[in-house]
Amino acid sequence: MSPQIDADLLHELEALKAQGLYKTERPIAGPQGPLVRLEDGREVINLCANNYLGLAQHPALLAAAHAALERFGYGLASVRFICGTQTVHRELEKALASFLGTEEAILYSSCFDANGGVFEALLDERDAVISDALNHASIIDGIRLTKAQRYRYANGDLDELEARLREARGARRRLIVTDGVFSMDGYIARLAEIRALADRHDALLMIDDSHGVGVLGAEGRGSHEAKGILGRVDILSGTLGKALGGASGGYIAASSTVVGWLRQRSRPYLFSNTLAPPIAAASLIALEIVRQEPERRARLHENAQRLRHGLVERGFDVLEGTHPIVPVMMGSAERAQRFAARLLEEGVYAVGFFYPVVPEGRARIRLQVSAAHDPATLERALAAFARVAADLGPAPEAR
Ligand SMILES: *Cc1c(COP(=O)(O)O)cnc(C)c1O
């Protein structure tokens, strides 16, 4: 049997390969960390994980997960409202709300699910949602599920945002939604200005802070803290799969009423399994570490600065910013792929990003540092970048 679908897709897969747009996955043979072991036994410098605070193999998280495994078991085989709520889930929701400055929080299997389940539950045809053009795919998909009127504004363009707010004037609820940090560029949203606009137009503000929590703000509470609007965000979504330990899970943090409604109506919460108890327990410890070890965050930002400066000094085209997401522009997808492949030979694991993940012609290698990298490792990585660049010659049309 060889159904037509296979023939068609094979053809399209070949086309992706021909255009240099085909993604491959590289198995890692050990835990996530600043260095990772590949299948062939080689240890390479890892510059592409969201393991910002280096907690993915932190002994305290592992111990908490082990203890929860003993106390609460492996999993619950249930959604939350049937028999999937344990004390540890409640504790984590409380801790997240308190950390993020909201009344309550609700857990999901992932932030993708949180974003998938929030718009449809809160908005209907009487409402409007106004979304930044570079928002994460899960926000885009979540918005597809709502009957609300949909508006988009160009990334960070507040004039356009205001124009959209005006167009949506007749709506019952107007919800502005933005990433706190745009993950392909490392740009931080202008949240104080967006909050002011929301206030002026009596609109609600939702921030997906998946790359902000644990990373930004004096106390690591995220982009809303860094931009001075802590406690003034109507809805926050985020992940447990990045700075907060890196396993999986997501949440919405908001008023008790909004969260209470989501528990009644949010489909990924109602129809998908509860978070595994070891993850819930370890996430609690991750939050504790964020609170108690600000030096991790300091080291993370020092590392980001070191990498950014080192690359610029060596002539690379780095998107400006301060976030530990460090995009090195490569121009074409082919060059980004080739550069990443050569880096790996030089002992540095980094990944090229290209269309459709970023606009055409804006291919890049997106680096991400961790608090767990030490300066000597980063210097080795910089040396490898310089060697590969010398090897491949200058980028034909960077930017
Ligand atoms: C990573 C990310 C997500 C998805 O998080 P998961 O918990 O892995 O589903 C959602 N939104 C943004 C902005 C992200 O960066």
Chunk the chain into consecutive blocks of 10 residues (it has 399) and report each block's average pLDDT, rounded to whole numbers: 90 91 90 97 98 98 98 98 98 98 98 98 98 97 98 98 98 98 97 98 98 98 98 98 98 98 98 98 98 98 98 97 97 92 97 90 96 98 98 69
> What is the Cα gyration radius of the chain?
22
Q: Give pTM, 2 decimals.
A: 0.96
- Kindly report the protein residue whose alpha carbon is nearest to atom 5 of ligand 1: 111
Rounded CA gap, 158 and 154, in Å? 8
Check residue 1 and give its pLDDT: 63
Check residue 357 and give its pLDDT: 87
Check residue 398 and give its pLDDT: 45
Say how many Å lie between the CA of residue 73 and the centre of ligand 1. Answer: 27
Please answer whether residues 323 and 215 qualify as being in contact, where contact means their C-beta atoms are separated by less than 8 angstroms. yes
Evaluate: CB of 362 within 6 angstroms of ligand 1: no
Say how many Å lie between the CA of residue 208 and the centre of ligand 1. Answer: 8
- CA 264 → CA 122, 199, 208, 239, 259, distances in Å? 11, 28, 21, 21, 9
Residue 379: what residue type? E
Question: Residue 242 CA: which ligand 1 atom is closest?
Answer: 1
Catalytic residue set: 183, 211, 242
Q: What is the 3-state secondary structure (H, E, C) of 288-333?
A: HHHHHCHHHHHHHHHHHHHHHHHHHHCCCCECCCCCCEEEEEEECH
Evaluate: CB of 195 within 6 angstroms of ligand 1: no
Question: Tokens representing 227?
Answer: 């931009």
Evaluate: CB of 326 within 6 angstroms of ligand 1: no
What order of strands is seen across the sheet that includes strand 351-353? Answer: 325-331, 363-368, 351-353
Check residue 397 and give its pLDDT: 53
Evaluate: CB of 241 within 6 angstroms of ligand 1: yes
Kindly tell me the sign of the dihedral angle through the C-alpha atoms of 211, 217, 218, 220: negative
Q: Which residues contact 2 (CB under 8 A, 6 or more apart)?
A: none
Question: Tokens representing 57?
Answer: 């193999």
- Kindly report the protein residue whose alpha carbon is nearest to atom 2 of ligand 1: 210
Hey, is 115 helix, strand or coil? Answer: helix
